[in-house]
Amino acid sequence: MTPFDATPSLIRQTSPDRGLLDGFGRRVTYLRVSVTDRCDLRCTYCMAEHMTFLPKNEVLGLEELDRLTAAFIGLGVRKVRLTGGEPLVRKGLMDLIAGLSRHIRAGALDELTLTTNGTQLARHAEDLARHGVRRINVSLDTLDPDRFRRLTRGGDLKQVLAGLEAGRSAGLKIKINAVALRDDNAGALPELIAWAHGEGFDMTLIETMPMGEVEADRTDQFMSLTQVRRELSAFWTLEDLPLNTGGPARYVRVAETGGRLGFITPLTHNFCEACNRVRLTCTGVLHTCLGREDAADLRAVLRDGADDRALTAAIRAAVAGKPQGHDFRIDRGAAPAVSRHMSMTGG
């Protein structure tokens, strides 16, 4: 019995057959939930150095997070990714995960996973595996301890490496995510990829996205992954893989390392036509597109005392309005496409 087994579940009351369809006929099956806006790091491309975090009462409680997530699962969502901020700094996260794992046992959810910076993973890896988490994404942009400290404004690379080791020992399948940054890691990307593949980890590269004001000028740091791919092709054989997860990533196999490499290219390629995902912020706002300002306040619906039927209706209405595509551009001097930080929305 977990703390949330008694939470009213929408699963019994709604028919997943009808699913969550948007106005363009896309089916939403993937929910990302930001469980906190807080983090123990301050990556330069993600956060301002002095962030003001949200007051506690604005952030969804664990039971609210559980109820909302259950509502989406009841509407046909098959994959849930917990993110943040740093999910592993959220108090009670393991209770939330233990509670949500009931949907995996019931066959209503295919995958419960998380994206983490890895600093706290050594303490939590065993519990994650015990609660049905099979795969995780760990963000790591560099293997150089000094550069890591600079990029994260104070982080200790050793903690992340210990977390990765613990994850592996616990049997978690790990994918490394790295943001491609012209000045900070571009030259070292082949080394990072070769290391990840040597450790048995998949690897995904991400283009910086203009989200929220930070001190750094992202136009200076922006690297087109088309260019990165071209440069990697000069010394590696990149074989296209048919894998498509309904997201912005496209995958290749690196013949020489035998490992899988993904490219997330929101700026240089449009990936919206097959988009299957929506994002819930830690304040209960549903964003149906990462790169637009559209938003539905589900916390207000919850805190107004909505019953399950009203909550379901609010979710359906929000998803019906999912925009056709994002608005990202990375023009010099332009304001960020969206004003919220990635740590609010959950990457």
Residues engaged in binding ligand SF4 (CB under 6 A): 39, 41-43, 46-47, 84-86, 117, 139, 343
Query: In the Cβ-directed half-sphere of 323, how many Cα atoms lie within 13 Å?
Result: 15
**In residues, how long is the chain?**
347
Q: Which does 209 bind (CB under 5 to 8 A by kind): ligand SF4, ligand SAM, none?
A: ligand SAM
Six token digits for residue 313: 């209706």
Q: Which does 208 bind (CB under 5 to 8 A by kind): ligand SF4, ligand SAM, none?
A: ligand SAM
CB of 10 to ligand SF4, least distance (A): 29
Could you give the 3-state DSSP secondary structure of residue 68?
Answer: helix
17-76 residues in contact with ligand SAM (CB under 6 A) are 39, 45-46
Burial class of residue 71, CB neighbours in 10 A (0-12, 13-18, 19+): buried
Nearer to ligand SF4, 73 or 88 (CB): 88
**Unique residue bearing structure tokens 């404004």:** 153
Nearer to ligand SF4, 43 or 280 (CB): 43
Pick from 230, 219, 223: nearest CA to 206: 223
Six token digits for residue 155: 């982080």
Nearer to ligand SAM, 73 or 211 (CB): 211
- Measured CA to CA in angstroms, residue 272 lies from 9, 59, 93, 101, 249 at distances of 31, 29, 31, 30, 11
Nearer to ligand SF4, 86 or 308 (CB): 86
Pick from 98, 127, 92, 97: nearest CA to 114: 97
117 belongs to the binding site for ligand SAM (CB under 6 A): yes
Of 208, 221, 265, 312, which lies in the binding site for ligand SAM, with binding defined by CB under 6 A? 208
Nearer to ligand SF4, 46 or 136 (CB): 46
Q: Which does 14 bind (CB under 5 to 8 A by kind): ligand SAM, ligand SF4, none?
A: none
347 belongs to the binding site for ligand SAM (CB under 6 A): yes
Instruction: Give the whole-angstrom CA distance, residue 266 versus residue 280.
Output: 19
- Measured CA to CA in angstroms, residue 324 lies from 110, 264, 271, 294 at distances of 26, 19, 10, 11
CB of 12 to ligand SAM, least distance (A): 32
Q: Which does 22 bind (CB under 5 to 8 A by kind): ligand SF4, ligand SAM, none?
A: none
CB of 42 to ligand SF4, least distance (A): 5
206 belongs to the binding site for ligand SAM (CB under 6 A): yes
Six token digits for residue 194: 């070769």
Provide the Cα torsion 218, 212, 156, 282; round to 10°: -150
**Site residues (vs ligand SAM, CB under 6 A):** 39, 45-46, 83-84, 86, 115-117, 139, 177, 179, 206, 208-209, 211, 342-343, 347
